[in-house]
């Protein structure tokens, strides 16, 4: 059972990661990335890290990737590349990739492989459960945790400030200012959606 789950997760994760790079259409790349992230969550489950697995799906698989998909569905499909190629890119990329591979190999060989032949450490009770993770975060790693949350808060405030500044930049600019107001103004001119009980929604009932 564990083996089946492991290989299903591993194939999903590797295949997804390869497909992200290989596919030309950004929409499909994002879909492949979703497959990759969900397979990773499956691998976390095998490692008894069910909270991390759930957080992985809710945060990355759910919220973050929906935004990616959102954006790539809107702007995707354009034929011209959105970036400019750096000169010598084709030569440089494999070299850098090889360097990274060697670096990671050294790190893995130097530390992790010793545990592969053994049974692995015994798990303390409640390992990976939300309760034990909460205790670790709020007692042992409190300072790190608070620092990370401050960083996130600053990023969120920064995003709001940047968005607000663009709105002030003046009406008429593309995609920014006054659009929310404009949109709601335009909508106000339309007749409001039919309340239930009018012929429109009655007809929908009949259709069902």
Partner 1 sequence: MSLPLAEVGFAEATWIMVVKSIVIFLVVFMIVPVLTVVERKLIGRFQNRYGPNRVGPVGLMQPVADILKLAGKQVLHPSASVPLLYAIGPALVIFSGITTIAILPFGNVKDGVGFYGIDVSIGVLYFFAFGSLAFYGLLLSGWASGSKYSFLGAMRSAAQLISYEISMGLALLGAIMMAGSLSLVSIVEAQGTIWYVIPQIVGFLIFMVAGFAETNRAPFDLPEADAELVQGFQTEYGGTRFGSFLLAEYLEMFVVSGIATAFFLGGWMGPGPGWLDPIWMIVKILALIFVFIWVRATLPRLRYDQLMSLGWKMLLPLATLNVLVTAVLVVVT
Q: Is 198 helix (H, G, I), strand (E, B) or coil?
A: strand
Q: Is 10 in the site for partner 1 (CB under 8 A)?
A: no
- Token pair for residue 138? 């709020």
Q: Is 40 in the site for partner 1 (CB under 8 A)?
A: no
Runs of H (alpha helix) within 61-113: 65-75, 89-111
| Residue 41, number of CB atoms within 10 A of its CB | 22
What separation in angstroms does the CA of 69 have from each of 100, 112, 157? 29, 35, 24
For the chain, the straight-line distance linking the first and the last C-alpha, in angstroms and rounded, comes to 43
Query: Which of these ranges, 16-24, 43-51, 86-94, 104-112, lies near partner 1 under the rule CB under 8 A?
Result: 43-51
Q: Is 2 in the site for partner 1 (CB under 8 A)?
A: yes
Per DSSP, 115 falls in state: G
- Residue 52: which of 62, 64, 40 has the closest Cα? 40
Q: Is 70 in the site for partner 1 (CB under 8 A)?
A: yes
Q: Is 160 in the site for partner 1 (CB under 8 A)?
A: no
List 19, 69, 137, 167, residue binding partner 1 (CB under 8 A): 69
> What's the min distance (Å) between Cβ of 40 and partner 1?
13
- Token pair for residue 87? 């000169």
- Token pair for residue 94? 């494999």
List 10, 17, 19, 45, residue binding partner 1 (CB under 8 A): 45
Identity of the residue, 93 or 181, whose beta carbon is nearer to partner 1 in the bound complex: 181
Measured in whole angstroms, the distance separating CA 182 from the mean position of its chain's CA atoms is 31
Identity of the residue, 99 or 138, whose beta carbon is nearer to partner 1 in the bound complex: 138
List 19, 55, 137, 167, residue binding partner 1 (CB under 8 A): 55
In whole angstroms, what is the distance from residue 9 CA to residue 188 CA? 50
Q: Which helix (H) or strand (E) holds 157?
A: helix 142-168
Identity of the residue, 85 or 186, whose beta carbon is nearer to partner 1 in the bound complex: 186
List 15, 19, 23, 50, residue binding partner 1 (CB under 8 A): 50
Q: Is 124 in the site for partner 1 (CB under 8 A)?
A: no
Binding region for partner 1 (CB under 8 A)? 1-2, 5, 27, 31, 34, 38, 41, 45-46, 48, 50-51, 53-55, 57-58, 61-63, 66-67, 69-70, 73-74, 126-131, 180, 183-184, 187, 192-197, 200-202, 204-205, 208
């Amino acid at each position: 059972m564990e083996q089946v789950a492991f290989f299903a997760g591993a194939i999903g994760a590797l295949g997804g990661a390869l497909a992200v790079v290989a596919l030309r259409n950004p929409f499909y790349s994002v879909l492949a990335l979703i497959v990759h992230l969900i397979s990773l969550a499956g691998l976390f489950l095998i490692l008894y890290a069910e909270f991390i697995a759930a957080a992985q799906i809710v945060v990355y698989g759910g919220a973050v990737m929906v935004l990616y998909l959102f954006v790539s569905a809107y702007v995707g499909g354009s034929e011209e590349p959105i970036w400019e190629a750096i000169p010598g890119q084709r030569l440089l990329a494999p070299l850098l990739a090889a360097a990274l591979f060697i670096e990671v190999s050294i790190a893995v060989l130097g530390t992790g492989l010793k545990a592969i032949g053994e049974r692995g450490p015994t798990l303390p009770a409640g390992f990976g459960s939300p309760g034990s993770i909460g205790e670790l975060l709020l007692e042992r790693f409190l300072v790190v945790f608070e620092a990370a949350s401050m960083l996130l808060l600053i990023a969120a405030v920064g995003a709001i400030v940047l968005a607000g500044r663009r709105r002030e930049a003046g009406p008429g600019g593309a995609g920014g200012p006054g659009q929310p107001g404009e949109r709601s103004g335009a909508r106000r001119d339309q007749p409001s959606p039919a309340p239930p009980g009018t012929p429109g929604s009655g007809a929908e009932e009949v259709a069902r």
